[in-house]
Structure 1
């Protein structure tokens, strides 16, 4: 007896583009399907305040098939098709991407004096769209944002065969990199200075006092101030904080510490950060000693005052922490949760009420992104520049933390200013490079009084074993040959001495050269890969005379 055939069930409620394929292979939308009965797409609750988007304005404008396909694709995204996207992401596709793209299509239809169809979605149209947004009076980063919010919608349509998607070659529908080096044009947020951080923290400490008074109803402003305190002390992102659940505080192995656990939508994972638990003797939180406030106590107090509202909250808000009773005319007494817009409004009121100013005398700009960078730089400062600990506190990799969150300190700026003045002086006096003295391993800024120098009058540092760990040591592309000659001499010592002694005294040197000097030089562009390989090959076959065994039989003289 053969197997029974199993028929796959199809959900007919999933939005589909009602179309046919003509004899030439072109997609043809059913005329009776356009415009659809409902042109408004509704959104569930999300960190954004938008609840609907209307496509009606583009129907009857010469782009009906494209508009219809885009609307159906947005509906499919919301129905969980083509991957799981957050509502906020789909909202951004509509507001930022499709608005600009469909407006451009209308202009194209008017210019060509015909209706655009899905078969017109090709490389020529996309190139025209890129020229269109480049002509807008907006920054390059904004142009890239328009494009990056449009492309996912069109790619999803193309993969389903709604229009002929070309994925490779010169005629590829989408160019590989239409915005090269755009990341260099984005300034990003800057951390608060020490003065700004202290004044902001003092204002927050005063602003949250009412929440500890009995019978104080939770308001959007009071909750916004409390959330800002949590953000300042933990460095978490806005959406995880806004969607904080009532089970966010978890036990920690240490008695005086608890875990704050938040859900990260984008990574589909939890974010965990340790915070000081309340103790008999109130302590200063290590990350922000300017604010004497216990974060765990504050969170538990917020949960206590919002607990009565949880039973009245809509189903999709039950279990949230930041609940309050709305006072708007249209929804008086309805229980809602803090949103990004209400957080921004509360922050603006705090800045105005306490007269917070930046160094230029303008109102202090406060947002969660700035507080996250402030937290990162404060952790970096407290750990004496430990990048690994800072990255772990942020929940990022060291590379991401270094490139996107850490800003130069005041000491760094002073050092850069000094080095800049020194360079100008050397340029004017034709003595450029005189600051660094040549040595058998590279260049040294201070061979007499350097970090590992003997520091005796007339004595020059010969401690070359420690050069790669010395802060006065510098390597240029011209020094790679000498560096690799030393590197291979280190490796050859393994066959001349006890292996345990080599592992104890010399093993770290090749590792430092590979993992820090060469890797960092390649990352910054100081070294070219070809130059590194050429220097390595030269040093392996014909080492620099100084590091040849013919000249120096033992390296102990440099230890």
Structure 2
């Protein structure tokens, strides 16, 4: 009995590129399919203000095959095919990427005098596109954004076999790094200084007061102030806050505590914040950030006041918290929800109404990203520089938190204060070493040594460079201090960005293992049993100098 034939089902609703292959294996599009009956792409409601994108302007101008393939790929993204991307990301693919790419192709087709096809997408064309972006007169960071959005669409076409992709070599379709050092050119938001943070908190607290009166109608401005309060105290991102669901508050196993649950589109998971009614002076010991209970009360109050509006809200907004009745020229009286543009407008009104200014007297720049940076650095400060717990509070990895949120400033950098009271006193009286002697070993010239400050009366405390200094020496009696420092350096990995630790500290354990200890054993300066005993003792009972109780941060020695 023969095998039963299995027929593969094809979902006809998934957009396809109608094509065939010529004798050389190149993709040939069916001319009757171009242009498609519908060139307008509808995005629906999303995190951006764009609702559609029309490919019509690029048809009939000598680039039809590429325009058609790009349109179909965008439709596939929206249908959940090939990869999972948010609608707002697809919007950027169109508005930032394909708009510039197709404009460039129009110019190229006119210059060459023939129709461009998918087979023309190669390294030469990509290099020309990069040159075109330079000629647009936009900053390098914007050029990179346009290029990255374009590349995402072209990669998807290549992975489906519609364009030939060369992975490596001089003819690689996409250059390896067309925008070197771009990260150094990006100027991210900075946290609000303490005075400005307090001024904003006082202003928004005053502005929100009318929301507690049931006879005052809810407006976009009032809801903006409420959202700013939640952002200021939780450090969440813009889109999760705007899309807060009406079921965002969940029970917490502890009394007087509640979970605030937000959905993160990009990560496709939830973000959890604990709301509880304890003193804000208390150290943050939970794995999630804590805020005053009045923020929970504010959220519950908004949910209660917007409940009557749900029935009139569009289907895709009925589950949102920030509902209000529009008062604009268009759609007056219709129920809508806070959007990014409404949030920006309300924030600008708050700044103008309360005269909030920066240190230069200019209107204070407020946005959710800046409030998140402010929250991150405030938590970092409260936790005495604990990067790992700060990252948990932000919902990021320590690497991301350290690189993108904890910018150096006077309050948050932890300016490497020296030791405890004993060490401070020794410095002030120029008697460093009286209590603990040299905390790394022996130094033959702590005043004029290789890394000493060489100022009158100043003693060298640059212990991170002891291992490199020609005046440094270690005896068997110093092994406990040396290994205490060794393990302390490893412990710092949990409290700072991984790349920074690798750059500034990773060499220290290697020097100790492969230079000092190994060389000492070879010369007979150390006995193996003494080394192992000192190593284990330092692991269990570190020397007081390298204890967290005395030295909270190693940067004091940098």
Establish whether TM, by shorter chain, passes 0.5: yes
Provide the residue aligned with 1:427 in structure 2: none
Provide the residue aligned with 2:555 in structure 1: none
Provide the residue aligned with 1:312 in structure 2: 312
Contact 1:454–1:461, Cα closer than 8 Å, also in 2:
no
* Equivalent residue in structure 2 for 1:460, among 430, 433, 446: 433
Answer yes or no: is 1:511 the counterpart of 2:484.
no
Q: Distance in 1 between matches of 2:8 and 2:477?
A: 64
Cα offset for 1:463?
Answer: 3.3
SS class of match (1:47) = coil
Provide the residue aligned with 1:226 in structure 2: 226
Name the stretch that deviates more: 188-197 or 5-14: 5-14
Partner deviation per Cα, 1:223-267 (whole Å, 9 max, x = no partner): 111101100010000010011001111112222221111011111
Provide the residue aligned with 2:116 in structure 1: 116
- Going from structure 1 to structure 2, the CA distance change for 1:234 and 1:522 (only over 3 Å counts) comes to closer
* Equivalent residue in structure 1 for 2:464, among 475, 495, 504: 475
Provide the residue aligned with 1:425 in structure 2: none
Q: Distance in 2 between matches of 1:56 and 1:124?
A: 26
SS class of match (1:294) = helix
Structure 2, gaps ≥5 residues long: 285-290, 442-459, 538-542, 545-558
- Going from structure 1 to structure 2, the CA distance change for 1:472 and 1:506 (only over 3 Å counts) comes to closer
Q: CA RMSD in A?
A: 3.9
Contact 1:477–1:527, Cα closer than 8 Å, also in 2:
no
SS class of match (1:236) = coil
Q: Distance in 1 between matches of 2:165 and 2:311?
A: 50
Provide the residue aligned with 2:374 in structure 1: 374
Cα offset for 1:149?
Answer: 0.8
Cα offset for 1:520?
Answer: 7.8
Q: Distance in 2 between matches of 1:285 and 1:460?
A: 36
Answer yes or no: is 1:94 the counterpart of 2:94.
yes
- Going from structure 1 to structure 2, the CA distance change for 1:369 and 1:384 (only over 3 Å counts) comes to same
Q: Distance in 2 between matches of 1:457 and 1:351?
A: 51
Name the stretch that deviates more: 511-520 or 78-87: 511-520
Q: Distance in 1 between matches of 2:176 and 2:186?
A: 20
Partner deviation per Cα, 1:39-70 (whole Å, 9 max, x = no partner): 11111111111111011111122211111111
Answer yes or no: is 1:179 the counterpart of 2:179.
yes
Contact 1:224–1:346, Cα closer than 8 Å, also in 2:
yes
Provide the residue aligned with 1:274 in structure 2: 274
Q: Distance in 1 between matches of 2:95 and 2:152?
A: 14
Contact 2:219–2:325, Cα closer than 8 Å, also in 1:
yes
Count of aligned positions:
510
Contact 2:14–2:76, Cα closer than 8 Å, also in 1:
yes
Q: Distance in 2 between matches of 1:487 and 1:44?
A: 72
Provide the residue aligned with 2:166 in structure 1: 166
Q: Distance in 1 between matches of 2:357 and 2:155?
A: 46
Contact 2:466–2:472, Cα closer than 8 Å, also in 1:
no
- Going from structure 1 to structure 2, the CA distance change for 1:546 and 1:393 (only over 3 Å counts) comes to farther
Cα offset for 1:517?
Answer: 8.3
Q: Distance in 1 between matches of 2:7 and 2:308?
A: 49
* Equivalent residue in structure 1 for 2:500, among 499, 506, 523: 523
- Going from structure 1 to structure 2, the CA distance change for 1:158 and 1:354 (only over 3 Å counts) comes to same
Q: Distance in 1 between matches of 2:233 and 2:112?
A: 57
Q: Distance in 2 between matches of 1:261 and 1:192?
A: 26
Name the stretch that deviates more: 186-195 or 391-400: 391-400
- Going from structure 1 to structure 2, the CA distance change for 1:284 and 1:298 (only over 3 Å counts) comes to farther
Provide the residue aligned with 1:539 in structure 2: 516
Structure 1, gaps ≥5 residues long: 420-444, 494-504
Partner deviation per Cα, 1:405-430 (whole Å, 9 max, x = no partner): 123343578969xx9xxxxxxxxxxx
Partner deviation per Cα, 1:45-100 (whole Å, 9 max, x = no partner): 11111111011111122211111111111011111111221110100100111111
Cα offset for 1:140?
Answer: 1.6
Cα offset for 1:196?
Answer: 0.9
Q: Distance in 2 between matches of 1:65 and 1:336?
A: 40
Spell out the pairing of 1:94-243 with structure 2 (5 A cutoff). 94-243=94-243
Q: Distance in 1 between matches of 2:325 and 2:142?
A: 36
Provide the residue aligned with 1:252 in structure 2: 252
* Equivalent residue in structure 1 for 2:526, among 549, 553, 558: 549
SS class of match (1:115) = coil
Provide the residue aligned with 2:553 in structure 1: none
Provide the residue aligned with 2:85 in structure 1: 85
Q: Distance in 2 between matches of 1:382 and 1:412?
A: 9
Q: Distance in 2 between matches of 1:191 and 1:119?
A: 49
Provide the residue aligned with 1:431 in structure 2: none
Cα offset for 1:215?
Answer: 3.0
SS class of match (2:520) = coil
Provide the residue aligned with 2:453 in structure 1: none
Contact 1:217–1:305, Cα closer than 8 Å, also in 2:
no
Contact 1:35–1:64, Cα closer than 8 Å, also in 2:
yes
